[in-house]
Chain A
């Protein structure tokens, strides 16, 4: 056994383990062994697996770690991957990547030293793949940063599964909670504004997950950002495009908008109050009727696609009082049992011939196209309202909005293509 290794007390590791430990120490020279230091070998009593903890450089990890740890090496088609997929678009991951570039030391990456497959990358990753990805991306900036690893040796198939499972069972912090925490760091203005317009009750904070009556930070941010995008976009010739604020931290567009917000602006206050009125009427009407009274219809105004599109329209109509009045009069134009957003009609609307059978209608999905389609409902409503007085959302209007949106998009796309020729 390597002289730099302290064996576990009260148990004798098998030779298969000590042999691998020696190989590992020889190959990777953990930081702890510098200047005569030692590393300890431990026994996990639950899994009966042996492991040591030590520190390796970012460059070493980037070079030798294998995130495609598998159970069945020979099965090409159906590899049982032992890791969650990397989700690089998660806000938390992006922060991690930035931190790695700034020299953040990460701890407790869970590895197995295993040369039985892909021997050039013998450090099989069972936990911390996102951190490892961030370390790998930062290897040119910070190759010498030390990171803490827990390295297992000579694991059986069952032990591999157990270790991988325990390290991939993340008790995730909900994105909505992260948003709320980050918003608190920015200040109380958003919460105060929501309370002032009635979106939040006095003394209440944002929801930490989706709830029928309490908005999340993401919803409130989306409302504000789109109001300002709409105001800015009214002068632009490009097609209108509402957006959703990112969840799980801070949204750049929101930060940009937030800096310039006058929280006491009467137009902004009015927009907030009108949105609350729409939500309340929607919920009240759907909840009190006998047919089509499902919860999704009741909270339709809180669907993020509706929030983004409605707020964008409210912003864009700031210089068009008639259209704005049409939009704001939506809760007044439908008489019970009709809900102002006509959630059922929205759910049935589709582009004939191309939208798939399982298309769930307007205001459900959050892709840019779906946000654009939803916005078009409010644009058509306001436009037609000028000709015919106050209008309601009907299936026909929703279908017309989809057609109109797709026709606008078609011309925009073809112009882009033609411009390249």
Chain B
């Protein structure tokens, strides 16, 4: 799904920021929000794809596989060792993967900072505290652009570290200018 989500995010951003589409503010926000959901969905789907790959291969420790797949190993006297659902933050899973695969990724880098900003934007939309969306179009445009770029760059870094290959060019071309 992550490929389609990235393409969707790019399209929504393009429409939301298009001057020729003559959108009202409300309509433009609608597309920007769509872009945020799709871009964050894309990186989550990609991390899940990696997590699923390791689960299929069984090539990481059980604890790591559980962590990546939102599970945890719990021991009880009655039932012994068993898996239970436990959700882990996406950025923690990404950190685990980047560190595990000997990447020299810099967690102080602009890419990571942009990703964290984007995550804040996404969290604000998914768990809203405000009654209305008051983010200006200018702010949306800047944050979605840099957020989508960060998402693709991090996915590309993960792909290079784990699969030893960058993302397909078609996907890298979706990094907004």
Chain A residues within CB distance 8 Å of chain B: 351-357, 380, 400, 403-414, 417-418
Task: Decide if B166 is an interface residue (CB 8 Å cutoff).
Answer: yes
Interface size on B, residues (CB 8 A): 27
How distant is A237 from chain B, measured CB to nearest CB, in Å?
Answer: 12
The 8 Å CB contact of A410, one of B49, B101, B155, B166, is: B101
Question: Would you list 24 pairs from A and B whose C-beta atoms are within 8 A, ordered by A residue?
Answer: A352-B2, A353-B3, A353-B168, A354-B159, A354-B168, A356-B168, A357-B168, A403-B53, A404-B53, A406-B162, A407-B50, A407-B54, A407-B56, A407-B57, A407-B59, A407-B60, A408-B59, A409-B164, A410-B101, A410-B162, A413-B164, A414-B102, A417-B102, A418-B102
How distant is B51 from chain A, measured CB to nearest CB, in Å?
Answer: 9
What residue of chain A has the Cβ atom nearest to residue B51's Cβ?
A: A407
The 8 Å CB contact of A411, one of B56, B59, B159, B171, is: B59
Instruction: Collect the chain A residues with CB atoms within 8 Å of residue B59's CB.
Output: 407-408, 410-412
Task: Decide if B14 is an interface residue (CB 8 Å cutoff).
Answer: no
Q: Are A357 and B170 in contact (CB under 8 A)?
A: yes
Task: Decide if B87 is an interface residue (CB 8 Å cutoff).
Answer: no
Task: Decide if B100 is an interface residue (CB 8 Å cutoff).
Answer: yes
The 8 Å CB contact of A353, one of B60, B102, B164, B167, is: B167
Interface class of chain A by DSSP = helix
Instruction: Collect the chain A residues with CB atoms within 8 Å of residue B101's CB.
Output: 410, 414
**Given A406-B163, A413-B164, also A353-B155 (CB < 8 A):** yes
Interface class of chain B by DSSP = helix
**Given A353-B2, A410-B101, A410-B163, also A405-B168 (CB < 8 A):** no
Q: Complex: how many Å from CA A356 to CA B169? A: 8
Q: Are B168 and A407 in contact (CB under 8 A)?
A: no
Q: Are B49 and A352 in contact (CB under 8 A)?
A: yes
**Given A357-B168, A414-B101, A418-B102, also A351-B56 (CB < 8 A):** no
Q: Are B3 and A403 in contact (CB under 8 A)?
A: no
Instruction: Collect the chain B residues with CB atoms within 8 Å of residue A357's CB.
Output: 168, 170
The 8 Å CB contact of A406, one of B53, B100, B102, is: B53
Q: Are A403 and B57 in contact (CB under 8 A)?
A: yes
Instruction: Collect the chain A residues with CB atoms within 8 Å of residue B166's CB.
Output: 354
What residue of chain A has the Cβ atom nearest to residue B169's Cβ?
A: A356
**Given A352-B3, A418-B102, also A400-B162 (CB < 8 A):** no
The interface bits of chain B over 150-166 (1 if a CB of A lies within 8 angstroms of the residue's CB, else 0) are 00000100010111111
What residue of chain A has the Cβ atom nearest to residue B155's Cβ?
A: A353
Q: Are B52 and A403 in contact (CB under 8 A)?
A: yes
Task: Decide if B46 is an interface residue (CB 8 Å cutoff).
Answer: yes
Instruction: Collect the chain B residues with CB atoms within 8 Å of residue A403's CB.
Output: 49, 52-53, 56-57
User: Other than the known A354-B159, A407-B56, what 14 A-B pairs have Cβ atoms closer than 8 Å?
Assistant: A352-B3, A352-B49, A353-B3, A353-B171, A354-B166, A354-B168, A355-B168, A403-B52, A406-B53, A410-B163, A410-B164, A411-B57, A411-B59, A414-B100
**Given A353-B46, A353-B159, also A400-B168 (CB < 8 A):** no
Instruction: Collect the chain B residues with CB atoms within 8 Å of residue A412's CB.
Output: 59
Q: Are A407 and B167 in contact (CB under 8 A)?
A: no
The 8 Å CB contact of B57, one of A355, A356, A408, is: A408
What residue of chain B has the Cβ atom nearest to residue A406's Cβ?
A: B163
Instruction: Collect the chain B residues with CB atoms within 8 Å of residue A407's CB.
Output: 50, 53-54, 56-57, 59-60, 162
What residue of chain B has the Cβ atom nearest to residue A418's Cβ?
A: B102
What residue of chain A has the Cβ atom nearest to residue B166's Cβ?
A: A354
Q: Complex: how many Å from CA A412 to CA B101? A: 10
What residue of chain A has the Cβ atom nearest to residue B50's Cβ?
A: A407
B57, B159, B166 interface centre (most CB from chain A within 10 Å): B57
